[in-house]
Structure 1
Amino acid sequence: MPKGKHKGGRRQFTNFEALKEQKQKEEKERQWRKDQGETDSEDEDGSGSGSSSEDSSTDEDEVKQPKAKGVGGLIECENPNRVINKPKKASSVNATSSGTPSSGKTQLSRREREELQKQRATAYYRKLHAEGKTEEARADLARLAIIRQQREEAAKKKEEEKKAREATASVKKEQIAKALNKNQS
């Protein structure tokens, strides 16, 4: 089993007083270098305690960007999903909200445009279909004419059969009536 790999092994805690002494020592070193006229890299960045009033006035106008750690400063990359909140001027906000879009219409997405186009096409097709100008409508009308003709023929045939049944029924009744009259006499 390797040494120091298990959980909770070899923890070191720094003493608060030791940290305080270290900060004081670094501060004294900076002060001594400032007095001697030497500058270190931290003072050039503006993170030191002795920054001038000119540096602070230019920093107020510009937005401070945090210094990149590691190779992040060497590689420039842009995250398209990252939204950077930039302060907006009142004049630009009023101009965009009160002004109308250049086209005069609201911009529709591709799906919305396709949906509207689809609805228009179906409405136009229904109109032509109702007027009987489409191939499908013509085929439907021809089929309906054939069906109507067949129904009319079936209705005539049924009517003729009904009349024939009634005629045979009346003939049978007359025959029965004659036969009953002969039997009674």
Structure 2
Amino acid sequence: MNTNHAKAIKGMSIANIVLAALGIFGMLIAWAGLGVGGAAISGSGYDYFYTDDGLYFTTDDVSVLLGMLGFLVFLVIVCAVLILIAGILGVRGAAKPDKLRGIMIWNIVAAVVSLLSCCWVSLVLCIIVAVFANKDRALYAAAPAPAAPYGYAPAAAPVAPVAPQQPVQAAPVAPQQPAAPAPVAAA
């Protein structure tokens, strides 16, 4: 069954845009929280901390841990931006056959970064959009040229002007001689 998946591509791309925007917003809040936490620990005036289990942490250990978490949050933001770009391209070019290859490639990239950033819903959506874009690309490649709309003929190639034809006069017909009677055979 040859059907166009443009509406599905557009809908799932909108879902990816929303999820990526929420992810970016959430990660920016987390990044700000890590910054506030780092400032609170470094400005606490203590050089070390004890836990209830008797573990000993220096403020340098906690600062390194917060720095690594901040780097991971930054990577998730970069991944969400790539997912956002793939979603925007999917919305803008879902019905355009010449854009389907780019949509497919960007959604494959977005699926890989979704896997790296553990965004499982975006991973599934990106894979489905990439598959639909590939199917539509194959559908458009195999389809014949579109027919002309009702009442319109396709544009013809320009033709050099030709001189109009002149009527041809018939040559005079010569009168025919009556045929001689056939000899009659004697009985």
TM-score (norm 2): 0.23
Taking CA–CA contacts closer than 8 Å with sequence separation of 6 or more, which of the two structures ends up with the larger relative contact order? Answer: 2
TM-score (norm 1): 0.24
Larger C-alpha radius of gyration, 1 or 2? 1
